[in-house]
Structure 1
Amino acid sequence: MSASNPALGVRSGALSAQQVALALALLLGLQPITTDLYLPALPLLARDLAAPMASVQLTMSALLLSFGMAQLVMGPLSDRFGRRPVLLGGLFLYSVASLGCALAPSIHTLIGLRALQGAGLAAAVVCARAMVRDLYEPHQGAQVMSKGLSGLGLIAFLSPALGGVLAAGQGWRAALTAVTLAGIATGLWVWWRLPETLATKRPDALRPGPWLAAMRTVSRHTGFRAWTALSSFTYGGLFVLLAGSSFVYIGTLGLAPWAYGAVMATGSLSYIAGTFACRRLLLRHGLLGTVWRGAFATAAGGLGMLALALGGQTAVLPIVVAHWIYLFGHGIHQPCSQTAAVGAFPQMAGVASALSGFVLAATAFVTGLRLGQAMDGSVLVLASGLCFFALLTSLTAWTVVQRFGQLPSAARA
């Protein structure tokens, strides 16, 4: 199905599936830019600002807490005023906050600015997911989303490598300056090329009564709960790798920052391979069959890394292979779960996207707090966290998603 919303006009009628996928890649790609690009710089940041590990972890946790809470506002805002104005405002906030992060004089200032950055990022992510539901039915939306997430994977591939080079050559502030430039470039592209996709705005979207009613409707939907759980659990495992791996790969296994960036980049290639596999599986097995199969890769990655850690493995390559296998499964789960969570709510796509994103971000926030307390640089802590979420993801894909995840016929292609 192509973008066929009659309210979009001639300009939007020319918005092809490839252009929508590009928009998704740029908007959703701000997530790995915001997180992955500065990962190699975390040890340098901690040393330069004389910050303990727990405070450094808060730069990630504060981002995610704000990111999650702001989605609850950005979703209704986009239903009321449209995707485009909320996108532009959010990207402006993101760019200004990112510049502030690059100039931050203390860890406490950096934590506060990362929270503002998360609010701006929320607008980009909520509107991107809602835009897919504006234009496509869920099955076609999952195909387009997987293409967009392939682009996200490419950005995630480049981000840690670039971050490692910048951190090694110019310091951690250079990495955050690159984040600023990415926000500005994305905002300019949206202003220049991306039209409004929402056909009918909801004038009552911001009124407390209708807003709470919409939240209740979405949150009580068993399919929404199942798909949101899958999306949140698989991202929880990814977040364990994002927030904890630099301290293990660099601090314990002895990799240089640029080599760690290369490890994270190769993981992104595995994720991209997963998104390609997702598209092929969708054609043959549909949403439910695709995630059922992807769960085997997820479980294998988590259990494999835990087995290596329990066996005292300190060689980098076997651990990285388990890392890759998990990310391959993640590349299958995310396009399906993010699209299907919103799929049953064509008239409340902003609210559904916001609530699903809030749960995902809350999961990552709690994980970050726990990881900051437990992380001692050992492979076992990293592997235990990854395996925990791998098993939750797989069991969810094999059970509640299969039982409750079938979309109503009106929402299917």
Structure 2
Amino acid sequence: MENGGPLSPPAPRSTGKYILLLGLMCALPAVTSDIYVPSLPDVARDLATSTTAVQLTMTGVLVGGAFGQLVVGPLSDRLGRRLPVLIGVAMHVLISLLCAVAPGIGWLITLRFLQGFFNASATVVALAVIRDRFVGADASRLLSRLMLVIGAAPMFAPSLGGVIAGQFGWRGVFVGLALFGAVLWVVVWRRLPETLHPEFRREAGLGPALRGYRELLRDRHFVAVAVLPGLGMGLLISYVVGSPFVLREGYGLSANQFALLFAVNGIALVGGAQINAALVRRIAPIRILRVALPASLTMSVVLLAIALTGFGGLFGLLVALWLLLLLVNFVPPNASAIALNRYGAMAGTAAAFLGSMQTGIAGVVSPLVGVLGGDARAMCLVMVGCAATALAVLALATPAYRRGGWHSL
């Protein structure tokens, strides 16, 4: 295992611009998903398909991202950070335009899978660049700051998507995604430096990639911690894919009302990330996880109880949901920083594994909301499952709750 070292490049001076650049890269998959959320019911009607089938277009992005990260990670450890992301974002632009002319739901699901596959390059490279230059609490703090940029996606993307869809239909949303990708490509090309030190470049090919993943899989603490961001994302994606149907069809909200509520909940996501960024200056990331996960499970159970009993109506549901979303972003930054800190010399491969687990688990979880009925109860039940599993993993598969054991993480 590598914990950084003298070969790690120094942190950049213009940290604000650096965070913005990496945040835009990390936000690409989030924007790709969230700008499209208000259009889900419209897509179902236009393509004459079911709620579950339309939700698979969201699943496709996540599962595609999981596979893409496994491929891009080792490549970025060999070829450097810049080339993979430039190719991936260029493909995002092309595939977005193809989504805009998709003739049926099958084509759209397939294209969304490919969109997620190539989008993965932006996330993997951003995480690898962070590990190239930061470790430990510094990495966790930077990841939390990135959530300020990433959190803008659920705050503004649905509103923007709703406006675009209102003027040009849901197909126009994908044209907007292509334009965003084109702008991001230019910014990356001009502003992203190469951060992979020549002495850290690894042998390319399937064999070396598999050996790298085998090494990671043998570290059970790494695997356990790497699962946590995925379960956190699973909880969040349950809300993302379920809320349009729960709030628009179940509670009769208009598209604009839904977009406004989505933005308000985005404030909770950003707020939680920024509170975490302040806390990690004084508290170890693992100690924050030990509190955040039980709190998330407790709040998700409260949310489920409200959905089952109807207590408080829509207002009660939204208050509990907001508080749960406030807790969500205490998990991925800290778990990711702990996991990446263990493998400095293969940061791209470790980031790929981490990101693949995150999007892969979320991709598996997301259809469950539709399968279980697509209503508020189904959405909340999946959230409880994700929170309970995350707490069980931390408690049973790591020494986090053993006396002094968390120091080994």
Instruction: With the length of structure 1 as denominator, give the TM-score of the two structures.
Output: 0.91
Select the residue among 373, 379, 382 that pairs with 1:385.
Answer: 382
Select the residue among 134, 143, 162 that pairs with 1:136.
Answer: 134
* 2:272–2:328 Cα contact (<8 Å) kept: yes
Is the deviation greater in 291-300 or in 379-388? Answer: 291-300
Superposition deviation, residue 299 in structure 1: 2.1
Which residue in the other structure is 2:237 paired with?
239
Segments of structure 1 that go 5 or more residues without pairing to the other structure are 409-413
Q: Percent identity?
A: 30
Q: Distance in 2 between matches of 1:339 and 1:32?
A: 20
Select the residue among 28, 33, 42 that pairs with 2:26.
Answer: 28
Is the deviation greater in 198-207 or in 239-248? Answer: 198-207
CA shift in 2, pair 1:184/1:15, >3 Å: farther
Q: Distance in 2 between matches of 1:381 and 1:344?
A: 37
* 1:223–1:407 Cα contact (<8 Å) kept: no
Q: Distance in 1 between matches of 2:344 and 2:5?
A: 14
Secondary structure of 1:255's match? coil
Superposition deviation, residue 397 in structure 1: 4.6
- TM alignment of 1:150-229, pairs within 5 A: 150-200=148-198, 204-229=202-227
**Could you give the per-residue CA deviations for residues 143-189 of structure 1, whole angstroms, max 9, x where no partner exists?**
11111111111232111122223333432122222222211111111
Select the residue among 301, 304, 314 that pairs with 2:302.
Answer: 304
Superposition deviation, residue 290 in structure 1: 1.5
Which residue in the other structure is 2:49 paired with?
51
Secondary structure of 1:285's match? coil
**Could you give the per-residue CA deviations for residues 40-93 of structure 1, whole angstroms, max 9, x where no partner exists?**
000001111112222212211222111101111100110010011111001001
Q: Distance in 1 between matches of 2:52 and 2:309?
A: 28
CA shift in 2, pair 1:7/1:370, >3 Å: closer
Q: Distance in 2 between matches of 1:70 and 1:386?
A: 26
Superposition deviation, residue 111 in structure 1: 1.3
Is the deviation greater in 376-385 or in 231-240? Answer: 376-385
Secondary structure of 1:244's match? helix
Q: Distance in 2 between matches of 1:119 and 1:178?
A: 19
Q: Distance in 2 between matches of 1:159 and 1:358?
A: 24
Superposition deviation, residue 138 in structure 1: 2.1
Is the deviation greater in 218-227 or in 237-246? Answer: 218-227
Q: Distance in 2 between matches of 1:182 and 1:40?
A: 18
Letter aligned with residue 317 of structure 2: I
Letter aligned with residue 41 of structure 2: P
- TM alignment of 1:257-406, pairs within 5 A: 257-313=255-311, 315-374=313-372, 376-397=373-394, 400-401=397-398, 402=400, 406=407
Q: Distance in 2 between matches of 1:288 and 1:338?
A: 11
Secondary structure of 2:215's match? helix
Q: Distance in 1 between matches of 2:29 and 2:180?
A: 11
Is the deviation greater in 298-307 or in 201-210? Answer: 201-210
Q: Distance in 1 between matches of 2:257 and 2:406?
A: 40
Q: Distance in 1 between matches of 2:12 and 2:197?
A: 15
Aligned residues: 402
Q: Distance in 2 between matches of 1:74 and 1:192?
A: 21
Superposition deviation, residue 318 in structure 1: 1.4
**Could you give the per-residue CA deviations for residues 172-218 of structure 1, whole angstroms, max 9, x where no partner exists?**
12222222221111111101111111112655432333322211111
Q: Distance in 1 between matches of 2:203 and 2:306?
A: 50
Superposition deviation, residue 17 in structure 1: 2.5
Is the deviation greater in 163-172 or in 278-287? Answer: 163-172
* 1:37–1:161 Cα contact (<8 Å) kept: yes
Letter aligned with residue 87 of structure 2: G
Q: Distance in 2 between matches of 1:201 and 1:49?
A: 52
* 2:11–2:134 Cα contact (<8 Å) kept: no
CA shift in 2, pair 1:346/1:259, >3 Å: same
CA shift in 2, pair 1:261/1:205, >3 Å: farther
* 2:57–2:108 Cα contact (<8 Å) kept: yes
* 1:59–1:111 Cα contact (<8 Å) kept: yes
Is the deviation greater in 287-296 or in 354-363? Answer: 287-296
Which residue in the other structure is 1:411 paired with?
none
Q: Distance in 1 between matches of 2:295 and 2:275?
A: 12
Q: Distance in 2 between matches of 1:394 and 1:334?
A: 13
CA shift in 2, pair 1:5/1:29, >3 Å: farther
* 2:38–2:255 Cα contact (<8 Å) kept: yes
CA shift in 2, pair 1:120/1:208, >3 Å: closer
* 2:85–2:121 Cα contact (<8 Å) kept: yes
Segments of structure 2 that go 5 or more residues without pairing to the other structure are none
Q: Distance in 2 between matches of 1:193 and 1:279?
A: 25
Q: Distance in 2 between matches of 1:300 and 1:25?
A: 30
Letter aligned with residue 383 of structure 1: C
Secondary structure of 1:205's match? coil
Q: Distance in 2 between matches of 1:255 and 1:394?
A: 34
Q: Distance in 1 between matches of 2:263 and 2:396?
A: 32
Secondary structure of 1:196's match? coil
Letter aligned with residue 47 of structure 2: L
Letter aligned with residue 319 of structure 2: V
**Could you give the per-residue CA deviations for residues 114-146 of structure 1, whole angstroms, max 9, x where no partner exists?**
111111111001111111000111221111111
Letter aligned with residue 212 of structure 1: L
Is the deviation greater in 382-391 or in 171-180? Answer: 171-180
Q: Distance in 2 between matches of 1:239 and 1:311?
A: 23
Q: Distance in 2 between matches of 1:399 and 1:140?
A: 27
Select the residue among 39, 42, 50 that pairs with 1:41.
Answer: 39
Q: Distance in 2 between matches of 1:174 and 1:250?
A: 21
